[in-house]
A and B are shown apart, each in its own frame.
Chain A
Amino acid sequence: MKVILAKSILKANDDVAKRNRETLDRCKVKAVNLISSPGAGKTTLLEKVLELCKGKAAVGVIEGDIATTRDAERIAAKSVPVVQINTQGACHLDARMVEKALLELPLEQLDLVVIENVGNLVCPASFDLGDHEKIALLSVTEGDDKAAKYPRVFDAATAVIITKADLLPYTDFDLDSCVKELLQIKPQLKVFVTSAKAGSGLVELVNWLQAR
């Protein structure tokens, strides 16, 4: 017997993602999905953003890593609710993992949930988590050609945060050409140039997040 299906194999994930988004909407919580390669500075940036949000917005964090609770420990030190997901080898978070993590967060008391995806510039872009937007990070030490080489993740994002801008003088990173290539991939992308170390660009980022 031949059965015509014509159904997406991501449907199971997408159904759970939709449910996650409904849960978040019901609790009036906004969720952002942070995606970057390993070492781009997601956790360090998040630490600084959490400091700036203190007293302005209640933020919860979901940390995704293949192993260890190191990132969750760093975030917990900022006195915000945090859940660590260990993917046991999987290279991305999926909607089911996030569904379980959301149960552990006091959603009724939160304004924003930040989901820090597994460090990977390829796979996380395929899996909807139920977030409201994806934000991609790109550090200057990775090189200015990454947007052109990994266009999909930047195409899926609403904003790109260029991190470690304090290192610009020490690298060949061409900021103008990088931004140009990002906007070629997606003209409506919002681009932030930040340095967690120098504290630059962070207020703009937090204001933008709050406005959304």
Chain B
Amino acid sequence: MHELSLIHGLLELITASAKVHDIKQVSLIRLVVGEYYGALPEALNFAFEAVTRDTICEGAVLELVATAGRELYVDYYEGD
């Protein structure tokens, strides 16, 4: 359930950064998620699809990188 909140945070972060870089459409986001956060990939993907509807991230690929630690950050994103 907290996956939804995490994706909200992700969208906020990307939207703010995309504005600075004048990016209108995001195509890929690489998110590093540590095991510590107990976030399930399926739930993250589901939340991502739901939350990004009608945003600059709609249709973007969410690339998840699972680690054993306490990381939870956007490594990079791509867009035009």
A interface with B by C-beta (< 8 Å): 1-13, 90-92, 94, 122-123, 126-127, 152
Contact across chains for A2 and B78 when beta carbons are under 8 A apart: yes
Contact across chains for B9 and A3 when beta carbons are under 8 A apart: no
Contact across chains for B2 and A5 when beta carbons are under 8 A apart: no
B2's partner among A3, A6, A11, A91 (CB-CB below 8 A) is A91
B72, CB-defined interface residue at 8 Å: yes
Contact across chains for B9 and A13 when beta carbons are under 8 A apart: yes
Contact across chains for B77 and A5 when beta carbons are under 8 A apart: yes
B interface with A by C-beta (< 8 Å): 1-2, 4-7, 9-10, 12-14, 17-18, 21, 23, 31, 36-38, 72-80
The count of A-to-B residue pairs whose CB atoms sit within 8 angstroms is 75
Contact across chains for A8 and B73 when beta carbons are under 8 A apart: yes
B23's partner among A3, A7, A10, A12 (CB-CB below 8 A) is A3
Known: A90-B1, A126-B37. A2 touches B76 (CB 8 A): yes
The 10 closest A-B pairs by CB, nearest first: A123-B2, A91-B1, A9-B9, A9-B10, A5-B74, A4-B76, A8-B73, A2-B78, A12-B12, A12-B9
Given contacts A5-B75, A9-B6, A10-B9, 8 further A-B contacts (CB under 8 A): A1-B21, A1-B79, A4-B75, A5-B76, A7-B17, A11-B13, A90-B5, A126-B2
A3's partner among B31, B38, B77 (CB-CB below 8 A) is B77
Contact across chains for B78 and A92 when beta carbons are under 8 A apart: no
Contact across chains for B76 and A7 when beta carbons are under 8 A apart: no
Q: State A116–B38 Cα separation when bound (angstroms).
A: 22
Q: State A193–B36 Cα separation when bound (angstroms).
A: 28
Known: A1-B21, A11-B13. A6 touches B73 (CB 8 A): yes
Q: State A12–B15 Cα separation when bound (angstroms).
A: 12
Contact across chains for A152 and B23 when beta carbons are under 8 A apart: no
Known: A10-B72, A91-B1, A123-B1. A3 touches B78 (CB 8 A): yes
In the assembled complex, how far is the CB of residue B55 from the closest CB belonging to chain A, in whole angstroms?
Answer: 15
